Amino acid sequence: MVGSVTERLAPDEIFLTTNGTNLTSEVDIAARDSYRVQVAATTTVLGGLIQVLLGVIKFGFVGTYLSEPLVRGYTSAAAAHALLAQLKHLFGVSPRRYSGPLSQVY
Residue 13 has pLDDT above 90, yes or no: no
What does the alpha-carbon distance between residue 38 and residue 58 come to, in Å, rounded to a whole number?
A: 30
Number of neighbours of residue 6 by Cβ within 10 angstroms: 20
Across residues 57-85, what is the average pLDDT? Answer: 90
What does the alpha-carbon distance between residue 53 and residue 66 come to, in Å, rounded to a whole number?
A: 21
In this structure, which amino acid lies at residue 19?
A: N
Range list of β-strands (E), 1-106: 16-18, 25-27
What pLDDT is recorded for position 104? 67
Which residues, at least 6 apart from 2, have a Cβ–Cβ distance to it below 8 Å?
Answer: 40, 43, 44
Percent of the chain with pLDDT over 90: 39
What pLDDT is recorded for position 6? 87
